[in-house]
Amino acid sequence: MPASDKMNTLPPGSWLGLLGGGQLGRMFCHAAQSLGYRVAVLDPAGDGPTAMVADRHVSADYADTQGLAELAGLCPAITTEFENVPAASLRALAARVRVSPGADAVAIVQDRNDEKAYVAGQGIPVAPNVPVRATADLESADAALFPGILKVARLGYDGKGQARVATREEALAAFAAFGSVPCVLEALMPLDYEVSVVLARGADGEAAVFPVARNVHRDGILAVTTVGAPMDAALTEQATQAALGIAHGLGYVGVLCVEFFVLRDGRLVVNEIAPRPHNSGHYSMDACQTSQFEQQARVLAGLPLGSTRLLAPAVMLNILGDVWFTPGSDTPREPDWAAVLAVPSAKLHLYGKHEARRGRKMGHVTCVAATLEQAQADALAVAAALGLPGTLD
């Protein structure tokens, strides 16, 4: 590490700040604390997953001036765990302390139209699309965009704020149902499968890329991530270089995920960017030399990036609140965790959320084994124990 960078390194025992109190923040806390740092979280919820484990909790809105000042007064470096923190708050903090990722990068990713325009401007393919800010935009949209998907431009995640639309009329109805807020209309693409690239980039421009993951979504929510499966080398390189190019162009500092569609003809197009650790990178906690959350802490503290080497093949299963309910019942019951942990390779991570709700992310299980075939077989055993679909695709 250059001497100039060492001057900016925060020693263990220092305070690291975090905006956002969900499960990603909780896992960041654990990683930062394992390196010897103390973590203060600003989150309006008093009993969120992060507040339970953070060393200090600042109970305030993300735009609260006094709360932001308190966090900045304690923490010489601050990061986020979700992308919808107001960019203005990040800018205000950056006037006083180190902030990563920066407000300008986050602001682009907070709006799907800005994000797609940025990616396309980098020469990286995206799905054909058009911004929708009024009904006239849909009325004049190219017929080739149908069938398509209408997505709200801001605040949508895990399939929320999205509607498949076969016709212009369906798109107009969906736009009205969304409250006529700004949207983007994307053409449906002939999808083969989905992959994601998670990387960490330091303030010195050095980057470390995690193995490309293959993902399966159900109802718009990530269900399965597999790493260590054979994958076309040219496609892997293309995805990696595209993700690195996006991060470099944004001047990004922190952990970033780029999700891609792989089309049936082999083409690769960017779906979305997440300016934070990502659900599809959770496997790194058990299957890589360094986890995505430790990388986030390293970047924030000004430490060298860790190795992203894959130690063994892995399959990660998301655990949603649905597994607390038997079919046809609204009365929750505890899943059979003993049966899950009877699978020798299973690593269980629960997020400490008080209430299980259908569709809510409650935890994940990663099966790490000597071979991909064993990891897949173990993941199917875990799925059976939890009542999840008995397939990984």
Which residues make up each annotated binding site?
112, 151, 156-162, 194, 217, 271-272
Identify whether the C-beta of residue 82 lies closer than 8 Å to the C-beta of residue 276: yes
Structure tokens at 118: 């940025």
Helices (H) and strands (E) in the chain, counts: 13, 18
Distance, in Å, from the CA atom of 279 to the CA atom of 221, rounded to the nearest integer, reads 10
Torsion of Cα atoms, 371 then 376 then 380 then 382, to 10°: 60
Structure tokens at 313: 């093949």
Distance, in Å, from the CA atom of 50 to the CA atom of 28, rounded to the nearest integer, reads 9
Distance, in Å, from the CA atom of 318 to the CA atom of 175, rounded to the nearest integer, reads 30
φ, ψ for residue 328 (rounded to 5)?
85, 0
Distance, in Å, from the CA atom of 1 to the CA atom of 18, rounded to the nearest integer, reads 25
Residue ranges at the known binding site for ATP: 112, 151, 156-162, 194, 217, 271-272
Distance, in Å, from the CA atom of 381 to the CA atom of 224, rounded to the nearest integer, reads 14
Distance, in Å, from the CA atom of 54 to the CA atom of 49, rounded to the nearest integer, reads 9
Handedness of CA 304, 38, 22, 106 (dihedral sign): negative
Radius of gyration, CA atoms only, the chain: 21
Contacts for 341 with CB less than 8 Å, ≥ 6 apart: 348
| Whole-Å CA distances, 59 to 19, 313, 386 | 11, 40, 35
CA 108 to chain CA centroid, nearest Å = 16
Structure tokens at 8: 């900016």
To which residue do tokens 């736009």 refer? 175
Identify whether the C-beta of residue 343 lies closer than 8 Å to the C-beta of residue 382: yes
